[in-house]
Structure 1
Amino acid sequence: MLVLLPPSEGKATSGRGAPLKLESLSLPGLSAAREAVLGELVELCAGDEEKAREVLGLSEGLRGEVAKNAELRTVGARPAGEIYTGVLYDALDLASLDAAAKKRAARSLLVFSGLWGAVRVTDKIPSYRCSMGVKLPGIGALGTHWRTPMATALPEAAGDGLVLDLRSSAYAAAWKPKGEVAGRTASVRVLHAPTRKVVSHFNKATKGRIVRSLLTAGIAPKDPAGLVEALRELGYEVEAQAPARAGQAWSLDVLVDEIH
């Protein structure tokens, strides 16, 4: 099972240990694309601060993020699972998982990123600010930049198992499963049951809880139908829509009344 996660806007501080080693990150097929984004981002943020802030879409209160990006090659790195924070990651709470569940997380979780493309939670990265919606002056739109290398790297990472897609739309633009891989992909929405609307907090927190439930129970469904069955056994209310034709992903709606 491969679980695709969005990153978080907020991030923990960088580590105090060794700096980033791009060659050590998972999915080596993304290395050249990573170096291109990292190089331009560092150069941009080491130059005109106002221009960098405009390109990155940062408010005045986030001005310090520019200086942080300028030092990405030299500051200490930490496991991505420690860097990403926020509602989804608080609910997932990787640090409190038992040893077996942590091993499952290391194998199955993949966090998408405007800067790194995608990383595993054990990959060591510095804290950064660069969303998938950014358009760098030289590279252009990052969503477009990542599509070509992702087209090869992601099917390889998916192997022959289930792909559970929990990404937001901006990050989903970087890779869309196709063909046989799409047929074993399930994208999930979380809806507030009384209103049938997506509510940000419900959506993020429940996605984190779903992943944690699967990891803790040691459940790795082989296909979307198996995922639906597993989630229902775990106590989730799920409505599933199988694809109309081959080469399309399943759509699952998880209905929640409130967050516990």
Structure 2
Amino acid sequence: MTLSGKTAIITGSNSGIGLGIAREIARAGAAVVLNSFTDRKEDHALAAEIAQEFGVEARYIKADMSKGAECRDLIEQAGGCDILVNNAGIQHVAPIDEFPVDKWDAIIAINMNSAFHTIAAALPHMRKRGWGRVVNIASAHGLTASPFKAAYVAAKHGVVGMTKTVALETAEEPITCNAICPGYVLTPLVEAQIPDTMEKYNMGREEVIKKVMLERQPSREFATVEQLGGTTVFLCSDAAAQITGTTISVDGGWTAL
């Protein structure tokens, strides 16, 4: 499944899921644009490492996904794109009657509104090129809910709905739009939480993972960033040309319950 000759923009991709997806897309031969809200030497170094490892063009562009104008400018700075992966996201947990308004606004802006702005800016470029793939990283929480995550659940449900709408609007064109809905994914951020959780519950590593962290994930195994990257590459391939407007769950059976 080669993506040679294509250019992919992956939002929120200087770590975790986004970086894993960027690496798999680069492995498939596409040029990649990494993104986050920082502008550090390390960010640009990540792009240089990907370029060297996979022999593709790679660069880093700073853009704050909470700001619509910067979301749109990211697409223009990149010179357009063939593949857009909306991955940027944040989380906050609190009861709805205690949920900080600023946290609500930030989660909706970064997790959902950013996808609206980037898609709106990217589609004209895709139409001009005669081909396009939009992959929105939603969540198992885009299909179901958990308490204390009102903003995140609302945003991810919104992303799933927007995915369907964009797919219908582009259905007669060589452009697809789909959403991937991960369950719990083993990222550096999650890995860092394991020791504290072990101490809190007085459990060993594997027991904490299976009984506490992955309580709602029937496989009792984390998804990996490589698996999400591979799923993304598949959705961008010719094999998935007739897959549009749908969700693919990578959640170990969570949403089968």
Normalized per residue, the structure richer in helix is 2
Hey, which of these two has a bigger chunk of strand by percent? Answer: 1
Higher relative contact order (CA 8 A, sep 6+): 1
| TM-score interval (norm. to shorter) | 0.3 to 0.5
